[in-house]
Chains A and B, each alone.
Chain A
Amino acid sequence: MTISNLIFKEIIHRKINFILGLLAVVTAVALFVAFVTTGQAYRRETRRVMRDMGQNLRIIPKETSIDKFWSDGFSEHTMPEEYVHRFASLEGFSYTHLTATLQKKVVWRDMNIILTGILPEVLPLDKRQQKPMTFSVKPGTVYVGFEVAHGLDIKERGVVDILGRTFTVIKCLSRTGSSDDIRVYGHLHDIQSILNLEGKINEIKALECLCLIEDENDKRSMLAIAQEQLAQILPEAKVVLVQGIAEVRQKQRAAMEGYLAFLMPVILAVCGAWVGVLAMVNVRDRQQEIGIMRALGYGSGRIMLLFLAKAAIIGLLGAAAGFFTGTALALNFGPGIFKVTAKAIKPEYVWLAWSLIVAPVFTAVSSFIPAMIAITYDPAVTLREE
């Protein structure tokens, strides 16, 4: 008779107790796995939504007057285009999706437009795998804002002459209700050329991705962090943070993390108590069995092992079943909740390994007090009771 034999036979004998214990662990692990699996999707979705809100960081020449900048919508000064490449060549910063632009108000065919040159998005060295979030314009082509296209009757595939150079209209943009409606977008180098500002830009737009900042204890403001980082890279520029977008981004992430931080301890505490109560019931049911074992010379260690090993088995089986249940829940219900990133919801197998390690420890800890009570039973008392 091995100890494992004894445990398995007892499990089979007291199926209900075992099944209820297993159910507690399956519930805890399944909810945890479902939350973290969909939580990953939530993060991706949040990132995606925030990205769609646009770049939140505007880097402009240092001499720019801020009042003028806001009244014009861009800086009247320029800085070297090379800055964007210098900016992108550094690793370990939290900026990404860098777009160098040159903007200038001009009158074209009796209409005030903002001529906007865009360089295809530059990704920092350590983020080259990211997909661009802004559109790019090929040399010799333009994208025309809604009001311009509508007012000047410009059609896609048409050819237009802008300040002496001919461009093919690739796209007429839909209405945005912003200054973008009076923009004409071209490749940066084309716009530099027609404005006689070769090698110049007046803004680098970037996404300040604070999720990349690893030090969670850094309580400084986002702008302070951005300025400090920028000062190291481009001392000749200054940074403007679009607070609205940045704050929404931060609040969104904080809300989700707060939600999980509240829910998970509650789930774990309830399930831990559940396992503990069941272990206590099991100990009470087995008083006489424990008594006879003690009478037969079984030491405290072996008797404790009977309970803790059983708890660990419940934890192990519950972890495996809970992982697959939680993953199935996430895969079934996640896509309905996170529609944008539905396809990105996939099993997170790293949590299977963690569940298999943590759940048995968790159940053994929950059963520890009942096991201690079991070894303190006085066999002389339990064996005398009829």
Chain B
Amino acid sequence: MVVLENVVKTYRRRRGDVKALSDINLRIEKGEFVVVCGPSGSGKTTLLMTIAAMLRPTGGSVCVEQNNLYTMSIRDRAKFRAENVGFVFQMFHLVPYLNIIENVALAGGVASQSGGAVKANELLKRLGLAERAFHRPSELSAGEKQRAAIARALFNRPKIILADEPTGNLDPDNAASVIGYLSEFHHSGGTVVLATHGTEAEQFADRIIHLHNGSIDNSG
């Protein structure tokens, strides 16, 4: 379960402060598929990063699985992320010098799992990338890269997947495929928070939240 209470995030800039999140109160139940909609600059990414224990809010509290994230030490937050959160980004963010199987296994940490490659291979098979396991990211199509990123996000069996515009660089078929995998994770009991400015994920969502200028728009 994710609980945000009075969360405020202000970026300090030379030309003045920018309020990215403004008094956000949000509760996401375990196993829920939530789509966060809104135009660019509405605060979707900031919201996801805050839930991910990666971006300390200026005010308010963020609790995930009953852990008050920003009272934890940096080390504990990193451990929390590794064990509970999976990420999928618009730009994939695969490490360019590792092949796909290594990119996926990277989520297991260095020198931590001897069976990492086997587990990564199983995930790649599930996502239809078995034949691409030893290819570099530069040799893959955008859709394949995003599927590899999903495999990486699933590697640690996270409780929650945070997907930031995961279909932003994909054609409709690949976008549908990616949403399908996230939906599959949701049906297996996982929580998904997906930020998008499109509408392709709405049919899978349990709930749609509209963000506008850093605030949840309850009007719609």
Contacts and interface: CB of A to CB of B under 8 A. Distances in A.
Contact of A13 (B74, B96, B106, B107): B96
Interface in A119-141: none
Contacts, number: 80
Contact of A386 (B49, B52, B91): B91
Interface stretch (B30-38, B60-68, B108-116): B108-116
Contact of B95 (A2, A289, A302, A384): A289
B55 A292 contact: no
Interface residues of B, number: 34
Contact of A1 (B45, B83, B102): B102
Contacts of B74: 299-300
Contact of B93 (A6, A292, A380): A292
A297 interface: yes
Contacts of B89: 383
A1 B98 CA distance: 10
Nearest to A386: B91
B93 A297 contact: no
Contact of B97 (A13, A295, A298, A384): A13
Interface residues of A, number: 29
B78 A380 contact: no
A13 B96 CA distance: 8
Contact of B54 (A14, A289, A299, A379): A379
A291 interface: yes
Contacts of A300: 74
A228 interface: no
A380 B98 contact: no
Nearest to A302: B110
Contacts of A294: 54, 78
Nearest to A301: B75
B78 A383 contact: no
B110 A296 contact: no
Contacts of B79: 297
B95 to A, nearest CB: 5
Contacts of A1: 98, 102, 105-106, 108, 110-111, 116
Nearest to B94: A292
A293 B106 CA distance: 8
Contacts of A289: 95-96
A292 B111 contact: no
A37 to B, nearest CB: 38
A378 to B, nearest CB: 8
Interface string B44-73: 011001001011000000000000000000
Contacts of B87: 292, 295-296
Nearest to A288: B93
A9 B93 contact: no
Interface in A327-386: 378-380, 383-384, 386
A3 interface: yes
B142 interface: no
A10 B105 contact: no
Contacts of A13: 96-97
A12 interface: yes
A295 B54 contact: yes
A249 to B, nearest CB: 59
Contacts of B78: 294, 297-299
A291 B96 contact: no
A348 to B, nearest CB: 39
B25 interface: no
A10 B97 contact: yes
Contacts of A288: 91, 93
A296 B106 contact: yes
Given A294-B78, A297-B82, A300-B74, A12 B97 contact: yes
A5 to B, nearest CB: 8
Interface in A276-304: 288-289, 291-300, 302
A296 to B, nearest CB: 5
B213 interface: no
Contacts of A299: 74-75, 78
B54 A380 contact: yes
B212 to A, nearest CB: 19
B169 to A, nearest CB: 9
A288 B74 CA distance: 19
B214 to A, nearest CB: 15
A295 B81 contact: yes
5 nearest A-B pairs in the assembled complex, by CB-CB distance: A297-B82, A13-B97, A380-B55, A380-B49, A297-B81
6 contacts: A1-B106, A1-B116, A13-B97, A292-B87, A295-B81, A295-B87
